[in-house]
């Protein structure tokens, strides 16, 4: 346990959604932070208690208040992307030094793609980093604004990037990412899509050729992908099955070596090798579990990557980025 001479004051906007609630749960027990404010996404909401978090976070959920946000050392934004698009530059202008944005507003660098998928985003913040923690620690440490990755890209990129970066993949053959997600990923607003009776006992694909996380994965991978997300009847977690080919001469040893090299010092990536990972073992944790099966004869590689969409895919990774930014142990508040 660490001895903190001083703690960092943090504020959360958007604390009423599922990811926001996880942020509160984590930050309230984080030994290096003082949670100064928990706000909704709207200035017009009434203050209210959070009975579900009683004894964990006993404060009130406040209406959105830009002034109070601006007073914090670090701000976490779990608000809709259009709100982030305007809040981030405003908070920067008012002197907030560290902003962790969980929305997609600043994830895409290509302006055309940003305009297509996040039209409300009209500025480029100074000191922006894409916060896939394990693969961007230096950028995160130096950043003023961290665009925290989407849940699907997090699982996909942590599995693909070490192999792509090591030059092992034959990306020209195409990459297929078949994702299965729990329903909390669809957010807290009730809809036909999230009605229990529609989801229970069912599986459904959605967003084929039209999900904005495709652009994010392609940007970070430097290659086109075919990505199909599915809703499966569980609350928490994502499992992605990734179909790719390696270059002809690549061996099983090289694949394993590339993963080991990438994650040797990563406390939250667990390599399971041929024992493929399962959602259950990462749910309610900040782990990303990665396993794979390789058919050397055909150069086919099947990767399986699992995360908890609300933790490693949202709140947990944001706090992990916070820890990196403030020079703390990466695991603070997350184990």
Q: Within positions 199 to 258, which residues make up the interface with its own copies, using CB under 8 A?
A: 199-206, 208-209, 224, 226, 228, 230, 232-237, 239, 241, 243
Q: Which of 236, 249, 252, 250 is nearest to 310 (CA)?
A: 236
Q: Which of 48, 143, 139, 149 is nearest to 104 (CA)?
A: 149
Q: Please, which residue, 109 or 270, has the CB nearer to its own copies?
A: 270
Decide if residue 116 touches its own copies (CB under 8 A): no
| Residues with catalytic function | 151
Q: Please, which residue, 138 or 264, has the CB nearer to its own copies?
A: 264
Among 139, 256, 278, 329, binds its own copies (CB under 8 A): 278
Question: Within a 10 A sphere around the Cβ of 40, how many other Cβ atoms?
Answer: 23
Q: Please, which residue, 254 or 278, has the CB nearer to its own copies?
A: 278
Residue 146: beta bridge partners? Answer: 100, 129
Q: Please, which residue, 7 or 122, has the CB nearer to its own copies?
A: 7
Q: Give the integer Cα–Cα distance in Å for 193 and 61.
A: 27
Decide if residue 23 touches its own copies (CB under 8 A): no
Among 190, 253, 265, 327, binds its own copies (CB under 8 A): 190
Question: Within a 10 A sphere around the Cβ of 25, how many other Cβ atoms?
Answer: 18
Q: Give the integer Cα–Cα distance in Å for 265 and 192.
A: 43
Decide if residue 1 touches its own copies (CB under 8 A): yes
Per-residue burial over 150-182, b = 16 or more CB atoms within 10 Å of its CB, e = otherwise: bbbbbbbbbbbbbbbebebbebeeebebebbbb
Residues 30-49 that bind its own copies (CB under 8 A): 31
DSSP structural state of residue 324? H
Residues 167-186 that bind its own copies (CB under 8 A): 173-174, 176, 178, 180, 182-184
**Shortest Cβ distance from residue 281 to its own copies (Å)?**
5
* Contact mark string toward its own copies, 57..96, x via CB under 8 A: ----------------------------------------
User: In which region does residue 128 sit, left (phi positive, over 0), alpha (psi from -120 to 50) or beta (all else)?
Assistant: beta
With CB under 8 A, what is the number of residues at the site for its own copies?
71
Largest CA distance in the chain: 63
* Contact mark string toward its own copies, 257..276, x via CB under 8 A: ----------xx-x-x--xx
Q: Please, which residue, 82 or 266, has the CB nearer to its own copies?
A: 266
Q: Give the integer Cα–Cα distance in Å for 270 and 278.
A: 12
Q: Please, which residue, 111 or 208, has the CB nearer to its own copies?
A: 208
Among 97, 212, 247, 300, binds its own copies (CB under 8 A): 300
Residue 326: beta bridge partners? Answer: none
Helix (H) or strand (E) run with residue 164 in it: helix 151-165
Among 192, 248, 253, 265, binds its own copies (CB under 8 A): 192
């Amino acid at each position: 346990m660490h001895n903190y001479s001083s703690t960092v004051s943090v504020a959360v906007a958007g604390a009423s959604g599922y990811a926001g609630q996880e942020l509160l749960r984590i930050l309230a027990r984080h030994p290096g932070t003082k949670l100064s404010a928990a706000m909704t996404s709207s200035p017009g909401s009434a203050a209210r208690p959070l009975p579900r978090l009683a004894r964990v976070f006993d404060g009130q959920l406040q209406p959105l208040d830009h002034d109070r946000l601006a007073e914090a050392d670090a701000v976490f934004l779990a608000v809709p992307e259009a709100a982030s698009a305007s809040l981030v530059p405003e908070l920067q202008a008012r002197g907030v030094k560290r902003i962790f944005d969980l929305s997609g507003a600043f994830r895409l660098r290509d302006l055309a793609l940003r305009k297509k998928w996040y039209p409300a985003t009209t500025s480029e913040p100074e000191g922006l980093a894409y916060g896939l923690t394990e693969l961007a620690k230096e950028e995160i440490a130096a950043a003023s604004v961290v665009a925290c990755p989407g849940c699907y890209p997090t699982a996909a990129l942590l599995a693909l990037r070490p192999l792509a970066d090591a030059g092992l993949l034959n990306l020209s053959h195409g990459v297929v990412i078949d994702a299965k997600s729990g329903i909390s990923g669809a957010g807290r607003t009730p809809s036909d899509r999230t009605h229990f009776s529609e989801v229970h006992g069912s599986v459904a694909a959605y967003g084929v050729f039209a999900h904005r996380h495709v652009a994010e994965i392609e940007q970070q991978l430097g290659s086109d992908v075919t990505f199909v997300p599915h809703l499966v009847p569980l609350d928490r977690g994502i499992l992605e099955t990734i179909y790719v080919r390696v270059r002809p001469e690549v061996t099983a040893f090289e694949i394993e070596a590339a993963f080991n090299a990438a994650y040797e010092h990563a406390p939250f990536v667990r390599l399971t090798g041929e024992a493929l990972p399962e959602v259950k073992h990462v749910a309610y944790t900040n782990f990303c579990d990665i396993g794979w099966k390789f058919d050397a004869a055909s150069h086919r590689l099947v990767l399986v990557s699992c995360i908890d969409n609300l933790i490693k895919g949202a709140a947990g990774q944001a706090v992990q980025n916070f820890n990196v930014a403030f020079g703390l142990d990466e695991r603070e508040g997350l184990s």
